[in-house]
């Protein structure tokens, strides 16, 4: 029986880590991310009493809104969350301000500076500022330059920049963007956000591995035969064709979210729990990772694109028929690939990574499959041996499960796989916070542990460069295979594993 216990991490956060007086400036405040994720996360922090009373949010975008219009748009977007808590919203929304601005216009920067000084006076925010870029990635570099030239990044202790993904489009552009950003601010001021790192279960990979004595000794090539990392979604491209057409699943999901899960799963233990020690180990493992076939990358990567599907009652359109998508598009909505990590721990262990839209289930998980028992003692009496598996469930049903064989009841000696399970909800009794709650708090606290450092982001892009180049220069070598909506991707992805005598897990 599981018992409900208090989550010590949360209590710890509330008690020990206090956000200083702060003005959070969001560029791109009229966009989707602000009302869908950022403002709800800030309101949650407010309700958890983790925001200081000297807090302000300055929404910035080109639209000519007033403070009142911005507040009411956010209120509408939060819907029932506000309706259920009108008093808290009233208090919180008093700290919401809006400024119409174009970062490319120097006169607008003068206005921004004055506005921030004003807010410092009204809300006692003491000149502490976190600038959040939720704009088109084309403006990350010029935006940083504009802030630096206005002197808004000159104090490394009081000013930070948060940059959304994608950070660059490939290795070369990520490197140039890093140089540009670092010419405007110290690396310690830069917070490259990947919302997967804000997920409780992604962080739990570290705790599970390094706080338990039983896992680390077997977490290597001697015991693990392969690792599968999956992020599958049921949704299609929705209203994001403009962005997605030039990104595709490789840039949208693999280079960041899946690679971060891989890094946490495969990294060496850090010397101590310190942001740089952790990020050093993540960078090292990414530098040791490579495509399984570097000479012929098409042998280890499959791209797919969803076609029609669904039911007569609920038909689903093909990617190419979605609004805003080129009818001849070759953008991939599915990727599967095989990687190796060339180090002592993982030499020869395949890491299979896959992600796709319009698959049958929404789920993200890491599955470690252990080697078979060396002797099949019970085979002769009808016990077909299975491999033990440890499944880290990132979402939904956050938790973990371990699969192992037991004797089936009865007179024979047949074995059967069963599961031992841990569920966050059963054990802790409360749903985990959205990733943005944790990450916004950490950025304002100046804790970079869960943000991607410049060398990590470059190593991640470098890993996929041969594929990105092939897609651009000789796309016929990496064709997009069509797959029916709400199926598990193209048959070619199954063949990728079949060649190694394996199957994808069908959760
Ligand atoms: C985003 C991608 O970063 O992650 C989206 O741009 C994707 O395309 C989303 O849908 C998935 O996030 P989550 O948290 O729902 O798994």
At 467, list the tokens.
């594929």
Domain CATH code at residue 17: 3.40.50.720
> Band of the pLDDT at 112, cuts 50, 70, 90?
very high
For residue 70, what is the enclosing H or E element? helix 67-78
**Centroid of ligand 1 to alpha carbon of 257 (angstroms):** 8
- 435-465 burial, b at 16+ Cβ within 10 Å, e below that, comes to bbbbbbbbbbbbebebbbbbbbbbbbbbbbe
At 396, list the tokens.
């939904």
In a domain? residue 84: yes
| Cα distance between residue 336 and residue 231, in whole Å | 11
In a domain? residue 32: yes
Please give the pLDDT value at position 342: 97
Asked whether the predicted pLDDT for residue 378 surpasses 80, the reply is no
> Band of the pLDDT at 8, cuts 50, 70, 90?
very low
Instruction: Decide if 403 contacts 388 (C-beta within 8 A).
Output: yes
* Ligand 1: residue whose CA is nearest its atom 9: 253
Q: Which of 216, 263, 222 is nearest to 370 (CA)?
A: 222
> Band of the pLDDT at 469, cuts 50, 70, 90?
very high
243 CA closest ligand 1 atom index: 6
Domain CATH code at residue 366: 3.30.360.10
In a domain? residue 177: no
Asked whether the predicted pLDDT for residue 133 surpasses 50, the reply is yes
Q: Are residues 205 and 75 in the same domain?
A: no
Q: Are residues 111 and 229 in the same domain?
A: no
Residues lining ligand 1, CB < 6 A? 233, 252, 364
| Cα distance between residue 164 and residue 196, in whole Å | 12
Selecting among 105, 257, 272, 376, the annotated active-site residue is 257
Please give the pLDDT value at position 192: 97
Asked whether the predicted pLDDT for residue 501 surpasses 60, the reply is yes
Please give the pLDDT value at position 15: 44
Which has more pLDDT, 506 or 177? 177
Asked whether the predicted pLDDT for residue 402 surpasses 80, the reply is yes
Q: Are residues 127 and 218 in the same domain?
A: no
In a domain? residue 173: no
**Residue 196 per-residue DSSP state:** G
| Cα distance between residue 284 and residue 13, in whole Å | 29
How confident is the prediction for the chain on average, in pLDDT? 93
**Centroid of ligand 1 to alpha carbon of 249 (angstroms):** 10
Q: Are residues 211 and 338 in the same domain?
A: yes
Please give the pLDDT value at position 16: 56
Q: Which of 152, 165, 85, 146 is nearest to 119 (CA)?
A: 152
In terms of residue numbers, what domain contains 393?
A: 197-498
| Cα distance between residue 139 and residue 133, in whole Å | 9
**Percent of the chain at pLDDT exceeding 90:** 84
Q: Are residues 52 and 143 in the same domain?
A: yes
Counting ligand 1 atoms within 8 A of each CB, the residue from 165, 247, 252 with the most, and so the one to mutate, is: 252
165 CA closest ligand 1 atom index: 3
Q: Are residues 149 and 227 in the same domain?
A: no
**Centroid of ligand 1 to alpha carbon of 130 (angstroms):** 24
Q: Are residues 209 and 254 in the same domain?
A: yes
* Ligand 1: residue whose CA is nearest its atom 10: 233
| Cα distance between residue 18 and residue 55, in whole Å | 12
| Cα distance between residue 285 and residue 206, in whole Å | 14
Q: What does each C-alpha distance from 475 to 252, 297, 333, 481, 490 come to in angstroms?
A: 18, 12, 15, 12, 17
395 CA closest ligand 1 atom index: 16
List, for residues 56-87, the tens digit of each pLDDT value: 999 999 999 999 999 999 999 999 988 889 99
Residue 336, strand partner residues? 302, 354
Instruction: Examine the residue annotation and report whether 257 is marked as an active-site residue of this protein.
Output: yes
In a domain? residue 176: no
Among candidate residues 141, 164, 187, the one where a domain is terminated: 164
* Ligand 1: residue whose CA is nearest its atom 13: 196
**Centroid of ligand 1 to alpha carbon of 436 (angstroms):** 12
* pTM for the predicted model, two decimal places: 0.92
Instruction: Report the first-to-last Cα separation within the chain, whole angstroms.
Output: 25
| Cα distance between residue 341 and residue 73, in whole Å | 47
List, for residues 244-284, the tens digit of each pLDDT value: 999 999 999 999 999 999 999 999 999 998 999 999 999 99
Q: Are residues 219 and 138 in the same domain?
A: no
Among candidate residues 164, 189, 214, the one where a domain is terminated: 164
Please give the pLDDT value at position 173: 96
Please give the pLDDT value at position 9: 40
In a domain? residue 148: yes
In a domain? residue 204: yes
**Residue 385 per-residue DSSP state:** -
- Cα 43–chain centre separation: 21
* Ligand 1: residue whose CA is nearest its atom 15: 233
Q: Are residues 119 and 252 in the same domain?
A: no
**Centroid of ligand 1 to alpha carbon of 233 (angstroms):** 8
Phi, psi for 351 (deg, rounded to 5): -110, 115
List, for residues 195-226, the tens digit of each pLDDT value: 999 999 999 999 999 999 999 999 999 999 99
Q: How many domains does the chain have?
A: 2
List, for residues 410-445, the tens digit of each pLDDT value: 888 888 889 999 999 899 987 788 899 999 999 999
> Band of the pLDDT at 93, cuts 50, 70, 90?
very high
Q: Are residues 209 and 123 in the same domain?
A: no
At 29, list the tokens.
């405040």
Q: Are residues 444 and 346 in the same domain?
A: yes
Query: 275-288 and 259-266 helices cross at what angle (nearest 10)?
Result: 100
* Ligand 1: residue whose CA is nearest its atom 5: 252
* Ligand 1: residue whose CA is nearest its atom 6: 252
Q: Are residues 55 and 204 in the same domain?
A: no
Please compute Rg for the chain using Cα positions.
24
List, for residues 332-341, the tens digit of each pLDDT value: 999 999 999 9
| Cα distance between residue 95 and residue 42, in whole Å | 11
Instruction: Decide if 393 contacts 400 (C-beta within 8 A).
Output: yes
**Centroid of ligand 1 to alpha carbon of 356 (angstroms):** 10
Q: Which of 233, 293, 289, 224 is nearest to 261 (CA)?
A: 289
In a domain? residue 180: no
Q: Count the helix, strand and coil residues of the chain and give each as a percent rounded to the nearest 5.
A: 40, 20, 35
233 CA closest ligand 1 atom index: 10
Among candidate residues 147, 164, 181, the one where a domain is terminated: 164
**Centroid of ligand 1 to alpha carbon of 57 (angstroms):** 25
* Ligand 1: residue whose CA is nearest its atom 14: 196
> Band of the pLDDT at 12, cuts 50, 70, 90?
very low
Please give the pLDDT value at position 224: 98
**Percent of the chain at pLDDT exceeding 70:** 96
């Amino acid at each position: 029986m599981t018992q409900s216990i208090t989550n010590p991490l949360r209590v710890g956060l509330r008690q020990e880590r206090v956000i200083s007086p702060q003005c959070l400036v969001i560029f791109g405040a009229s966009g989707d991310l602000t009302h869908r994720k950022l403002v709800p996360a800030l309101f949650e922090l407010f309700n958890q009493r983790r925001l200081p009373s000297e807090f302000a949010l300055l929404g910035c975008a080109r639209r000519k809104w007033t403070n009142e219009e911005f507040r009411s748009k956010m209120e509408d977007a939060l819907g029932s969350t506000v309706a259920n808590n009108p008093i808290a919203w009233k208090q919180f929304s008093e700290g919401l301000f809006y400024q119409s601005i174009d970062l490319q216009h120097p006169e607008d920067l003068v206005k921004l500076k004055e506005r921030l000084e004003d807010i410092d006076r009204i809300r006692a925010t003491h000149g502490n500022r976190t600038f959040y870029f939720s704009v088109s990635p084309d403006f990350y570099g010029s935006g940083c330059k504009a802030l630096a030239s206005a002197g808004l990044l000159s104090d490394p202790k009081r000013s930070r920049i948060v940059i959304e993904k994608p950070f660059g489009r490939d290795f070369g552009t990520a490197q140039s963007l890093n140089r540009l950003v670092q010419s405007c601010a110290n690396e310690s001021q830069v917070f490259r956000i990947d919302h997967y790192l804000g997920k409780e279960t992604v962080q739990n990979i570290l705790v599970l591995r390094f706080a338990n004595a039983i896992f680390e000794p077997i977490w290597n090539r001697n015991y693990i035969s392969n690792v599968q990392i999956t992020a599958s979604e049921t949704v299609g491209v929705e209203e994001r064709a403009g962005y997605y057409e030039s990104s595709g699943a490789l840039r949208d999901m693999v280079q960041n979210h899946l690679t971060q899960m891989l890094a946490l799963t495969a990294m060496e233990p850090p010397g101590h729990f310190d942001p740089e020690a952790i990020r050093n180990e993540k960078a090292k493992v990414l530098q040791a990772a490579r495509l399984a076939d570097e000479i012929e990358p098409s042998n280890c990567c499959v791209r797919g694109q969803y076609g029609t599907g669904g039911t007569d009652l609920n038909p689903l359109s093909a990617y190419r028929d979605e609004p805003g998508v080129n009818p001849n598009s070759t953008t991939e909505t599915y990727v599967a690939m095989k990687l190796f990590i060339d180090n002592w721990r993982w030499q020869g262990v395949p890491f299979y990574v896959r992600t796709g839209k319009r698959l049958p289930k929404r789920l993200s998980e890491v599955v470690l499959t252990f080697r078979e028992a060396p002797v099949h003692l019970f085979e002769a009496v009808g016990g077909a041996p299975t491999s033990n598996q440890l499944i880290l469930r990132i979402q939904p049903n956050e938790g973990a499960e371990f699969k192992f064989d037991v004797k089936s009841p009865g007179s024979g000696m047949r074995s059967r796989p069963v599961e031992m399970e841990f569920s966050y909800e059963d054990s802790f009794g409360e749903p985990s916070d959205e990733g943005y709650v944790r990450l916004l708090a950490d950025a304002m606290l100046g804790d970079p542990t869960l943000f991607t450092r410049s060398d990590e982001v470059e190593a991640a892009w470098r890993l996929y460069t041969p594929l990105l180049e092939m897609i651009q220069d000789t796309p016929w070598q990496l064709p997009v295979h069509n797959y029916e909506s709400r199926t598990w991707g193209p048959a070619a992805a199954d063949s990728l594993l079949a060649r190694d005598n394996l199957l994808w897990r069908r959760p």
